[in-house]
Structure 1
Amino acid sequence: MFDFLAEMFSFAFMQRAFVATTVLSASVAPVGAFLVLRRLSLAGEAMAHAITPGVVIGFVVGGLSVVSLLLGGLIAGVGVAILTAFLARKTILRSDASLASLYLIALAAGIFILSAAGSAVPLKSFLFGSILGIDDASMLLVGGVATVTLLTFAVLLRPLIVSTCDPVFFEARARYPWIVEQGFMLLLVLNLLAAFKTLGTLMAVGLMILPATAARYWAATITGQLILGFVFSLLSCWIGLTLSFIFADTPSGPAIVLVAGVIFLISVVCAPLGFGPKARTPSDLDTPLDP
């Protein structure tokens, strides 16, 4: 066992992969938890597609530069989030319909721009991940986004909890309630962008949502879900990377997400709030969360 670990960690790319995914887990865990609690799980998938045209334009203009891809994706993601909020407030459409419409347009635009610009095969690594080939710029990006995310949550945690548990009360008491919602969406976009060089924007949604949904079956409090979500995310990354090292032909990104899926399925069957040791009634599952 120790010989195997020594061999695995003797490779610099494995050391960097474990460090990057550990930092990424700390960053995406709280975002995923509140996506689940606020019933916005599909919004994460939608935003992953919505940043596609920005990433593609950044690639066409600046090549594989992390800065150009970051700026392009950030502009696209923030633009879609702002337009979604504007349409939800000013028109008859609700936010879910607005987001669905805009992300479909953004995804189609990204594919069109990619096709018009010609072959861009290296871009696949950004959409589907290349954690074993992460460079210094991407490591800095992941670390920077994690720092911003955790510091922002230190400020927004209480307003997020209140707006999640009692949105009507929060809307009535807060002077600018939209700041919390848009701030959270900005964190979502930033974490998706931080993951495009590790798991890819598509696989990153799995690491956000699956550990959070698994944690929901075990913990009845928000604090418990945040902690368990991080633990499950970390286990998914470490086990997934180990499997990709053992089986050389196994892609690391999908391996990580599949491990997270196994943890989710185990939680569904075994957790107290899943099928668990005793059957749960609807009233048990609808009990309000405590901080």
Structure 2
Amino acid sequence: MYDAIFAPFVEFSFMRRALVGCLALSLGATPIGVFLTLRRMSLTGDAMAHAILPGAALGYLVAGLSLGAMTLGGVIAGVAVAILSGLVARTTVAREDSSLAAFYLISLAVGVVIVSMRGSNVDLLHILFGTVLALNDEAIFLISGIATITLFGLAVIYRPLVIECFDPGFLRSVSPLSPVAHYGFLVLAVLNLVGGFHALGTLMAVGIMILPAAAARFWTRDITHLLIIGVLGAFLSGFVGLLLSYHASLPSGPAIILTAGAFYLLSLAFGPDGVIMTRLRPRRHLEA
């Protein structure tokens, strides 16, 4: 058991770095995913993950695989798309989901074209799918710093954010903090997607954010418990996914996201609010 579970992390520094990166992503990205699911914005997170691609690609075009340039470009692109989609929704007949979808599709295509202009297929795969097993100290510090900022930010806007999840109209009517909570949350989401991009790529970064959060919903309805279960599920998915990648020679990023997907499917089936348990639970008298 030791050789199968613990030896890879003891013997290889790249496995330990990848595990630390997964822990940082779990602490930062998954709480954001919990609030995205509560706000019915899960697909918004997916769209914003693709929206950071042109900025990261421009950073790559200017400075190669530079962590700082790609991070700055990704943050600028993600925030710009979020603001533009909101402005379009507020000034035209288009809904915010349709405008966001339009901008993210344009961004995805532009980003792929930019990378293809200078880089190879290997560089394109690196940007789209990430290299969690190749995280260096600089990338780990960046992801950990984003997780720290996220936890402090969520602590500051936690109360208005919770209220906005359930009744945004009430929050707007009683508090001036509604736009602060809304746009502050979007900025935190973009930051975590950029951090996840360096480990899992633009196509996989949203997986560690949304799948554990969605799975936690089948186990509890309490927000605090949702956050705890989501973070634990994300970290466990990273741990098991790295082991699968090591022993079965699978690509590490997809292995982690597939493990998170398996956690979601198990929760969907066997969680207290899952398909099987709700059917087995005794119904109240005269309940349809």
| Normalised TM-score (structure 2) | 0.92
Measured in 2, the distance between the counterparts of 1:228 and 1:219 equals 9
Counterparts of 1:152 and 1:66 in 2: how far apart (Å)? Answer: 23
Q: 1:7 to 1:254 in 2, by over 3 A?
A: closer
What residue is the counterpart of 1:202 in the other structure? 203
Find the counterpart in structure 1 of residue 271 from structure 2. 271
1:271 Cα shift? 1.1
Query: Which residue pairs with 1:141 in the alignment?
Result: 142
What residue in structure 1 maps to residue 250 of structure 2? Answer: 250
Aligned-residue offset at 1:34:
0.7
One-letter identity of the residue aligned with 2:254: P
CA shift, 1:178, in A, is 2.0
1:288 aligned residue? none
**CA-to-partner distance for each residue in 1:251-278, whole Å, 9 max, x for gaps?**
1111111111111111111112111323
Residues 59 and 68 of structure 1 are in contact (CA less than 8 Å); yes or no, is this contact kept in structure 2?
A: yes
Change (3 A) 1:6 1:213: same
Distance 1:118 1:196, change over 3 A: closer
User: Equivalents in 2 of 1:239, 1:135: separation in Å?
Assistant: 21
1:198-236 CA-to-partner distances (Å, cap 9, x unmatched) read 111211111111111110011111111111101110110
SS at match of 1:277: helix
Kept in 2: contact 1:58–1:71 (CA 8 A)? yes
Name the Cα RMSD after superposition: 1.8
**SS at the partner of 1:250?**
coil
* CA distance in 2: counterparts of 1:156 and 1:280, whole angstroms: 39
Residues 132-151 of structure 1: CA deviation (Å, up to 9, x unaligned): 11111101111110111001
- The residue that corresponds to 1:168 in the other structure is 169
Question: Any unmatched runs of 5+ in structure 2?
Answer: none
SS in structure 2 at match of 1:240: helix
Q: Aligned letter for 2:47?
A: A
- Paired residues of 1:8 and 1:245 also in contact (CA < 8 A): no
Mapped contact 1:47–1:103 kept (Cα < 8 A): yes
Aligned residue pair count: 281
Q: Are residues 201 and 111 of structure 1, via their aligned partners in 2, closer, same or farther at CA, if it must alter by over 3 Å?
A: closer
Structure 1: where are the runs of 5+ without partners? 285-291
Contact 1:59–1:123 (CA under 8 A) maintained in structure 2: no
Instruction: For 2:75 and 2:201, locate their aligned partners in 1 and report how far apart those are by CA, in whole Å.
Output: 15
Moved more, 20-29 or 268-277: 268-277
Shift of 1:279: 2.6
C-alpha distance in structure 2 between counterparts of 1:135 and 1:30, whole Å? 24
Q: How does 1:98-247 map to 2 (within 5 A)?
A: 98-117=99-118, 119=120, 121-247=122-248
Question: How big is the shift at 1:7?
Answer: 4.7
Q: Distance in 1 between matches of 2:84 and 2:280?
A: 40
Q: Aligned partners of 1:7 and 1:41: how far apart in 2?
A: 34
| Alignment check: 8 A CA contact 2:115 2:123 kept | no
Deviation at 1:6, TM superposition (A): 3.0
Amino acid at match of 2:250: T
Displacement, 1:112? Answer: 2.8
SS at match of 2:169: helix
SS at match of 1:278: helix
Matched, 1:51 2:52: yes
Residue aligning to 1:66: 67
TM-score when normalising by structure 1:
0.92
Q: Which runs of 4+ in 1 moved over 4 A?
A: none
Q: Alignment identity in percent?
A: 47
Cα offset for 1:86? Answer: 1.3
SS in 2 for 1:236: helix
